[in-house]
């Protein structure tokens, strides 16, 4: 079983080109300062923000409130195109779309837009690859390439918001209502940039995209110090913890970073977060046939969660290339759910989207590196 050195605070990606600075890496005073360094009045930073976050455009031709001579240089310096769509795959009648993005250094990442009645969720990547090496997750198999910049994360949400605003997604015009950090990467291993991205995503227009902070979910393997740090931010985002096993013996195998921060410490940090944020923590549990789906593990899980602010999300394991594991039988899944429910633990089975396009949880591997194509 591939086991990485426990990563986290000390994790450092291999040397890779750093993406150029972008408006969305900066807070509003930073943007004004950047405009001034370009010889422009500071308020040009606010104007560009309104175009990017409010009107969802980075095309200088749209910026009629900026003097024509200044538009090109400002856009070139502060709105570089960080990601180019290489491939778009859709399923669920176009209500689920996975985009493969190519960054300027040639790294690939993926994002997934999922439209449901009354909400649209963008699932975004926080790193190119991932260093956590969970053996059931496709992203974990390739290792970490590099951290994404805040602006590269925000660009994935902006692209979804733009497609919805232009009516390009089946179901008519719409808005992104939820953002989940459940794409490629371990968000808390890229803490500073992910937090900056969360601020851009949730700051009101024109400083940011104006998405509710409560509608943002950060999903983690359980990097305990980073969970503690997040609890101190005063940001009521939802925390999801990828638990997948109630016992250290199995979790050491499924989530190798458990060897550094075992179940009890992860859950302590989660309860600290729940108290600080005043919200339930999501406990993610991928049900893997004959691996973690036994009745005794359901009871052990219930024992760990009883009396705490938790909600369990059961995820039928999605197939990944080369994996010997498969999803639990439906009957076993129902029994696992019922055992938790009987003990008073709020539990749901996740409606898995995007399996046909390898866009479901754990399937993002940035594999299809062909030219730009569109398959629906
Ligand atoms: N690194 C973060 C976020 C990315 S994964 C984390 O681990 O939480 C988002 C969720 O999908 C996690 O709960 C992850 O464990 C789960 N997942 C990964 N591979 C999966 C698979 N093959 N089937 C189902 N869920 C999977």
**Other Cβ atoms within 10 Å of 262 Cβ, number:** 16
**In this predicted structure, which of 152-156, 206-210, 306-310, 315-319 has the lowest mean pLDDT?**
315-319
Q: Give the long-range contacts of residues 293-297, CB within 8 A, separation 24 or more.
A: 293/328, 293/332, 293/333, 293/336, 295/335, 295/336, 295/339, 297/245, 297/246, 297/247, 297/250, 297/336
Q: What pLDDT, on a 0 to 100 scale, did the predictor assign at position 360?
A: 75
Atom of ligand 1 nearest to the CA of 240: 8
Q: What is the pTM of this model?
A: 0.93
Separation of alpha carbons 193 and 125, rounded Å: 12
Class level of CATH domain 83-368: alpha beta
Sequence ranges of the domains in the chain: 23-78, 83-368
Q: What pLDDT, on a 0 to 100 scale, did the predictor assign at position 320?
A: 86
Q: What pLDDT, on a 0 to 100 scale, did the predictor assign at position 263?
A: 98
Q: What pLDDT, on a 0 to 100 scale, did the predictor assign at position 2?
A: 29
CB 128 within 8 A of CB 153: no
Q: Quick one: fold of 23-78?
A: DNA polymerase; domain 1 (1.10.150)
Atom of ligand 1 nearest to the CA of 219: 8
Q: What pLDDT, on a 0 to 100 scale, did the predictor assign at position 374?
A: 36
Which amino acid residue places its CA nearest to atom 24 of ligand 1? 317
Q: Could you read off the pLDDT of 163-206 as tens digits, one per residue?
A: 999 999 999 999 999 999 999 999 999 999 999 999 999 999 99
Q: What pLDDT, on a 0 to 100 scale, did the predictor assign at position 16?
A: 58
Question: In the annotation, is 110 catalytic?
Answer: yes
Q: How many residues would you count in the chain?
A: 376
Burial bucket for residue 142 (CB in 10 Å: 0-12, 13-18, 19+): middle
Which amino acid residue places its CA nearest to atom 21 of ligand 1? 362
Helices (H) and strands (E) in the chain, counts: 11, 13
Q: Could you read off the pLDDT of 92-123 as tens digits, one per residue?
A: 889 999 999 999 999 999 999 999 999 999 99
Q: Do domains 23-78 and 83-368 have the same CATH topology?
A: no
The residue from 36, 88, 110, 186 that is catalytic is: 110
Instruction: Give 340 Cα–ligand 1 centroid separation in angstroms.
Output: 21
């Amino acid at each position: 079983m591939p086991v990485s050195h426990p990563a986290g605070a000390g994790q450092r990606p291999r040397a890779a080109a750093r993406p150029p600075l972008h408006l969305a890496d900066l807070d509003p005073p930073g943007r004004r300062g950047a405009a001034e360094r370009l010889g422009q009045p500071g308020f040009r930073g606010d104007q560009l923000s309104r175009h990017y976050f409010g009107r969802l455009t980075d095309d200088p031709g749209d910026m009629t409130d900026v003097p024509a001579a200044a538009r090109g240089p400002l856009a070139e310096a502060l709105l570089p195109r960080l990601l180019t769509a290489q491939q778009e795959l859709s399923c669920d009648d176009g209500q689920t779309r996975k985009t493969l993005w190519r960054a300027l250094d040639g790294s690939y990442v993926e994002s997934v837009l999922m439209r449901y009645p009354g909400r649209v969720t963008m699932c975004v990547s926080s790193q190119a690859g991932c260093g956590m090496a969970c053996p059931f997750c496709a992203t974990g198999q390739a290792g970490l390439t590099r951290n994404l910049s805040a602006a590269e994360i925000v660009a994935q949400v902006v692209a979804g918001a733009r497609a919805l605003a232009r009516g390009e997604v089946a179901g008519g015009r719409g808005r992104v209502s939820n953002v989940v950090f459940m794409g490629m990467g371990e968000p808390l291993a890229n803490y500073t940039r992910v937090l900056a991205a969360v601020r851009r995503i949730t700051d009101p227009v024109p400083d940011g995209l104006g998405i509710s902070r409560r509608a943002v979910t950060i999903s983690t393997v359980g990097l305990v110090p980073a969970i503690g740090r997040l609890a101190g931010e005063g940001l009521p985002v939802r925390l999801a913890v990828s638990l997948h096993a109630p016992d250290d013996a199995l979790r050491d195998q499924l989530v190798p970073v458990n060897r550094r921060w075992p179940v009890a410490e992860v859950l302590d940090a989660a309860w600290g977060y729940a108290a600080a944020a005043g919200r339930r923590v999501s406990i993610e549990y991928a049900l893997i046939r004959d691996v973690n789906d036994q009745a005794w593990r359901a009871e052990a899980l219930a024992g760990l969660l009883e009396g705490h602010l938790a909600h369990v999300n059961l995820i039928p394991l999605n197939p990944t290339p080369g994996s010997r594991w498969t999803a639990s039988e439906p009957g076993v899944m129902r029994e696992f759910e019922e055992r938790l429910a009987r003990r008073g633990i709020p539990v749901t089975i996740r409606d898995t989207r995007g399996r046909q396009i390898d866009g479901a949880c754990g399937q993002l591997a940035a594999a299809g590196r062909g030219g730009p194509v569109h398959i629906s």
